[in-house]
Amino acid sequence: MIDNPFVQALIFILPSYVANASPVLVRKVIKVTHPIDLGKNFIDGKRVLGDGKTFEGFFIGVIAGCAVGSLLAMLSLHTLWGSFILSLGTLLGDIMGSFIKRRVGIKRGEMFPFLDQLLFLITSVTLYSLMVEPLPLTWVIFLLVITPWLHLLTNYLAFKIGLKDVPW
């Protein structure tokens, strides 16, 4: 089996990465989407989450994360339940991120360094640790270091091939 801890950590987090990346496809495949905040404003007069967080994106993210998780489960490299928890944590973190961004006045689609790249990881790993099992500290540290770079690289590639309007 795979005994390199860094490769193990990357395989473990793959459902989370896929869950985080796949909602961007929503705009390409679905014409009419529905914002999770139902278009409503918060008490500060700004949108609760904004148009970048849709029900369709949420479900596509969770389903895509579970799909990868079930493939990995067939190879005994993950569990379906574990990949579901990681995917759910990812999309919940994504929503939390937008809520925070709107409160501090960052517009939908604008970058919030570190929060955009790391909050989804922190929430998915935290939920997994609470609901499934704690993770090796080495994995967590490695993922915290590598994820912002991978996030920036994949978003840049998604921008280059026309999936995203911004390179972050």
Contact window for ligand CTP (CB under 6 A) among 23-31, 38-46, 78-86, 128-136: 23-31
128 binds ligand CTP (CB under 6 A): no
98 binds ligand CTP (CB under 6 A): yes
52 binds ligand CTP (CB under 6 A): yes
Alpha-carbon dihedral sign for residues 105, 108, 114, 119: positive
| Burial annotation 5-20 (CB, 10 A radius, 16+ → b, else e) | eeebbbebbbbbbbbb
Give residue 46's Cα distance to chain centre: 23
50 binds ligand CTP (CB under 6 A): yes
Q: Which listed residue (23, 65, 69, 89) binds ligand CTP by CB under 6 A?
A: 23
Q: Which two tokens stand for residue 32?
A: 């009419």
Contact window for ligand CTP (CB under 6 A) among 56-64, 68-76, 121-129, 146-154: 56-64
| Type of residue numbered 107 | K
| Cα–Cα distance list, 38 to 35, 44, 45, 56, 69 (Å) | 5, 16, 14, 13, 30
65 binds ligand CTP (CB under 6 A): no
CB of 163 to ligand CTP, least distance (A): 9
Interacting residues toward ligand CTP by CB under 6 A: 23-24, 26-27, 33, 50, 52-54, 56-58, 94, 97-98, 101, 108-109
